[in-house]
Structure 1
Amino acid sequence: MNTIKILVIAMFSLLSCNLVKAQNVLIDKQGVAYFFSEAPLEDIEATNDQAVGAIDLNKGTVAVSMLIKNFHFEKSLMEEHFNENYLESEKYPKASFKGKIVNFESLDFSKSGILTAKAEGELEIHGVSRPIESEVTFEILENEIKAKTIFKVALEDHKIKIPKLVIKNIAEIVDVDVSFNFVKK
C-alpha cells in the first residue's frame, strides 16, 4: 500500500511540475502589427490587431503568427492590391516568426521594470523564411508583460515583387512595429 501511495504522490508531483511549466507560456491573441511604407509618391500604412504571440518564460522562446488578410488600410483599394498583387494572401495566408531571446538566462522576468533584449529567429513572409534579429523591449508589470519591437523588412528578401508602374508608390524597405500584452496567469 505504501508503494502505491508513493507512486501516486510521485505522479501527482510530476503532473504539477508540468502544469507549472505550462503556465509560464504566455499568449496574446490580440497583438498589434503595424507597417509603414514611405515612398516618393505615397505613404502606405496598415494595422493588424489580431496577431498571435507567445513567449515561453522557461525556455526564452517566442513565436508570432498573423493572417495577412487581417491587415487593414485606410483605402480599400490599397488593401485589395496588397492581398491580391503583392502579398498574395490566398497563396501565402500567414506571416510568422519563431525564435529565441538571446541571453535569456541573464534576464529576470519576475521583477517589475523594463528589460531590453535581442530576439533572433526566422521571419516568414510570402512563403520565404529569412533570419532576423530585432531588439525587443519588455515592460514587466505585476499582472502582464508588454513586449514591443520595431524592425525593417526588405520586400525583395521575401520575393515580394513591385511592378515598375508603381515602384515610386511603395518603399522597397518597410518599417514594421509589433506589440503584445501578455497577461500573467
Structure 2
Amino acid sequence: MGKLIVWNIASVDGYFEGTEPWDLSMHETVWGDELEALSIAQQEDAEGLIFGRRTYEGMAAHWTRQTGTIADAMNSLPKYVVSDTLTEADWNNTKIISGDIVSAIADLKRAATRNFYVFGSADLLSTLLAAGLVDEYRLGIAPLLLGRGNPLFKPSDERIDLKLLKSQPLMNGGIVLYYGVGNASA
C-alpha cells in the first residue's frame, strides 16, 4: 500500500501563495540544489501525483512548457485531478477523479506499490486531511513573512496531530519539516 504524501512550500506565517492566484514568488527564496534533489527523489518514489483542479491547470500550463529532469518526470508520471467540473484532462497521463473522491483516493492508495504526492491543492487537502487519507506532510518553510495571501491550511473543527519525523535545514535559510499525520487511514 502506498502513502499519500503532501508537499508544499509556505511562508513562516502560513501562506502558500500571495494575494493573486499563482503568486509563488516566495518559492525562489528556498529553491536551490537541496530542494531540486528532494524533488527528484520524490518523483522517483511516486506512484502518481494528485491535484485539485486549479492546481492541476496551473501545473499543466507550467510543466508542459518546461524541459529537464523534473519536467520530464512531471510530464510522464501518472496524474489524477480531482474535479466535479472538469470534463477533459489534456496533460499527458492524467485521469479525472470525481464523485466520491475519498473512496477513490483510498482505493488508489491500497493498490499502490509506491507513494502518491499532492502538490499545492489546499482546498483538496482540507478534504483529504479530514478523511484521514494524508500519511505524511512535507512542508518547506520559506524564510519570510508574506503578510497576506492564501493560507495553506483551511479552518477546521477537527484537531489533527502531527509527529515530527525529520527536519532538514536548507543552506538558504529555509527548512523542510517532515510530519507523520496521526490519524491517517487507508
Please tell me the TM-score bracket, short chain as reference. Answer: under 0.3
State the TM-score, normalizing by the size of structure 2: 0.24
| Bigger radius of gyration | 1
State the TM-score, normalizing by the size of structure 1: 0.24
Relative to its length, the structure with more strand (as a share) is: 1
